[in-house]
A and B are shown apart, each in its own frame.
Chain A
């Protein structure tokens, strides 16, 4: 086994299997994954902080079996911050990725994808954002999602709400609406997003569905409002995705989304790891408002 001991912030721990190709068709190894997260730490950490991490581990690469892990692995180093949660009356210890060393430790577990809830562990029932998860059913694609997102943007702005889009890193788009006020509840965000989804479906029946059923989704964009739930998690912005290529869930400016929608090439929406690093370093965190902007949902 190929091991190397690293030291970050005075904490030493071993990294293993660095040469293992986790994205075999792209020659992208564990070392590359760790290097990606090291360079992106400043951008992704604020979005992971104080949230219960769900690990999605690919010990043998993206082509092989993976497993979800909601509990913090019991062998975690003492310096990994944890929190206690109750899941259906069961107590559960979860990892909080609050510092660069934890981010690398998690990467070393081959957790390519980092999923987090819409609430922090100190107030697990208080969402700090509402999300519209736009999921295309073939033959609809990310272009269809972009059209829905742009309509959604206008709808939201007329309600004086700002939304922030990102790619899912797979086939869809996510639009985050920051809330950041203490009285927010999942019941409110669920009801609000569901109502929006139903109205969008009613007005654009050929483009949008609010229904989960697979056969309803063919050729349409499913606005998955049900993600607004304390028990659900979303892929964290800047997380890698476990697809053939190391694509990232990456934030876009609305202007860029418009431009991409106009160009009409679904592939051009995807942001690969190296581009993600360059763009983040150049523009800074396009998702920072999601963490701080205070907005209230009207008409509830």
Chain B
């Protein structure tokens, strides 16, 4: 994935990025029921009633029914940010001020060779103070706003949503009315009665577990099917190369 340095004032810590979560979703392939061949997605043009090859596909931004602004890959690339090798922390914030609504995707930052000491120091100080470094950071071709924070002595990086991506909450909270102190107390008590330490290990995706059990059972019963070997399309390949090779072959055979 990405590797580079975290930097601010005179500090530079070499790190690389790894995923912090692996979604537990079980994914299935779609198969053709007649012989269990795996299915592929193709782009279909309903007007011409045919499958469209990749070199005939372009992008268009829809501005109204049937009206588009075509945009080429080159144009998109010209406005994409340069890949950067640094996570430049521009300010430190109090992590409590960031509503989790802003959290997008979590990663870990792993110290690269020579960065271990500065890494530990930063992680430790941020842990004690619950501070996070706010930075702009280009990953793949998008620029993200990210928070670099401490997670149990490790540094983690959370990509944040930009403020215009978070939908306004106006009108969601009901109009203010009088809340009686007695009601407040009662609510407070019910909550306090149910308080526990956050222990995510207590909860597991039940459906996932059941699917895994089902799969294990079917495996035991040997309920497997095999798809037929895929016939590769002959003559596939860059047309220039195919033509050159065909020529050479013809010539070689003639000489024998």
Whether A and B are associated in the same complex: the answer reads: yes
Chain A residues with CB under 8 Å of chain B are 84, 86, 89-91, 151, 154-155, 158-159, 191-192, 194-196, 198-199, 202-203, 210-213, 215-216, 298-300
B contacts with A, residue count (CB < 8 A): 26
Select one of A91, A215, A299 contacting B240, CB under 8 A. Answer: A299
A159-B110 Cα distance, complex, nearest whole Å: 46
- 30 intermolecular pairs with C-beta atoms under 8 Å apart: A86-B16, A86-B18, A89-B1, A89-B18, A91-B16, A91-B18, A91-B110, A155-B248, A158-B251, A158-B252, A159-B244, A195-B236, A195-B237, A195-B238, A195-B241, A195-B245, A196-B245, A198-B235, A199-B242, A199-B246, A202-B235, A203-B249, A203-B253, A211-B232, A212-B229, A213-B229, A215-B229, A216-B229, A299-B241, A300-B240
Find the B residue at minimum CB distance from A155.
Answer: B248
Q: Within 8 Å of chain A (Cβ to Cβ): is B19?
A: yes
- Which of A159, A199, A203, A211 is within 8 Å of B229, CB to CB? A211
Query: Chain B contacts of A154 at CB under 8 A?
Result: 252
Residue from B232, B241, B243, B246 having most chain A Cβ neighbours under 10 A: B241
- Taken together as a complex, chains A and B put the C-alpha atoms of A89 and B108 apart, in Å, by 11
- Chain B residue nearest to A212 (CB atoms) is B229
- In the complex, which residues of chain B have a beta carbon less than 8 angstroms from the beta carbon of A194? 236-237
Number of A-B residue pairs having CB atoms within 8 Å of each other in the complex: 66
Identify which of A86, A211, A300 contacts B1 (C-beta below 8 A): A86
Cβ-defined partner of A159 (8 Å) among B112, B243, B248, B253? B248
Interface residue ranges of B100-139 to A (CB < 8 Å)? 110, 112-113
Q: Of all chain A residues, which has the CB nearest B22?
A: A89
Are the CB atoms of B236 and A198 closer together than 8 Å?
Answer: yes
**Chain A residues with CB below 8 A from B246, complex form:** 199
Report how far A192 CA is from B238 CA in the complex, Å: 8
> In the complex, are the beta carbons of B252 and A155 less than 8 A apart?
yes
Given A195-B237, A198-B237, are A210 and B232 also a contact pair (CB < 8 Å)? yes
Question: Are B238 and A198 in contact (CB-based, < 8 A)?
Answer: no
A196 to B252 Cα, complex, angstroms: 14
Q: Is the CB–CB distance between B248 and A198 below 8 Å?
A: no
Lowest 8 A-B CB distances belong to which pairs? A195-B237, A299-B241, A213-B229, A299-B240, A199-B245, A158-B248, A299-B244, A203-B249
Could you tell me the distance between the alpha carbons of A91 and B112 in the complex, rounded to whole angstroms? 11
Give Cα distance in the complex from A75 to B76, angstroms: 48
Question: For B240, what are the chain A residues with a Cβ–Cβ distance below 8 Å?
Answer: 299-300
Cα distance A199–B243 when bound, in Å? Answer: 10
